[in-house]
Amino acid sequence: MFFSCGNNTEAIQKFNQRSEGPSAEGEGVLLKYTDSGKVVATLKTPLIIEYGLVDLAYEEFPEGVAVTFIDDNKKENYITSDYAIRYKRTNLIDLRKNVVLITSDSTRLDASQLFWDQKNKWVFTDKPYTIKFPDDSYNNGDLFDSSEDFKNFISLDNQSRMYVSETATEAPNDSIQ
């Protein structure tokens, strides 16, 4: 028999790591996400459990999250939930139980579950939800698909009250009034 020792530390580390169960845990965590030296988001959670060695790596927040997003104009948006999972490869976040999203213009979304596609800046759910807009408009429904700024919004089986601003415009000279 011949044996050889090599310098393959990555293979040795992988051999020594467990593939089932969490690879890391943290309590009382405050994470700050930066882009070009600016803080763009902060995440607070009582407990984070990372499953980084499984095929579809993810982070679990079994005791909930509170996230603040700061845009280029220093406006803040907030989201909280009692439970969350972040899938690392797809950048999809699954927020569950008492999900509340409040945008910088005071739009408020309440839902039992909300998926957030960070890559495509899209939010969606197939659960009942309520959105209240700053002008007291609202939308209640059973599912929606929307850009994260709620400018492109599709809703199914909903009730809503929307206020539309009417502006007086002059009719063209060749039109019938």
* Position 139 confidence tier, pLDDT thresholds 50, 70, 90: confident
167 within a domain of the structure (yes/no): no
106 within a domain of the structure (yes/no): yes
Can you give the pLDDT at residue 72?
78
CA torsion angle 145 39 23 87 (round to 10): 10
14 within a domain of the structure (yes/no): no
58 within a domain of the structure (yes/no): yes
4 within a domain of the structure (yes/no): no
Can you give the pLDDT at residue 36?
84
Can you give the pLDDT at residue 177?
46
Question: Residue 14 pLDDT more than 70?
Answer: no
170 within a domain of the structure (yes/no): no
CA distance to 14, 21, 79, 87, 165, per residue, from 112 (Å): 38, 27, 13, 19, 32
- Between residues 99 and 55, which one has the greater pLDDT? 99
57 within a domain of the structure (yes/no): yes
Which residue segment(s) compose the domain that 124 sits in? 20-161
Q: CB–CB of 91/70 below 8 Å? A: no
Q: Count of domains in the chain? A: 1
The CATH number given to whatever domain includes residue 70 is 2.60.450.10
- Between residues 121 and 106, which one has the greater pLDDT? 106
CB-based contacts of 127: which residues, under 8 Å, 6+ apart?
111, 112, 113, 142, 143
The whole model's pTM is what? 0.72
Range in 2-6, 57-61, 105-109 the model is least confident about: 2-6
Mean of the per-residue pLDDT values of the chain: 80
131 within a domain of the structure (yes/no): yes
Question: Residue 8 pLDDT more than 90?
Answer: no
Strands 65-70, 83-87: pairing kind: unpaired
**Amino acid identity, residue 103?**
T
Can you give the pLDDT at residue 19?
60
CA distance to 124, 130, 150, per residue, from 166 (Å): 30, 25, 21
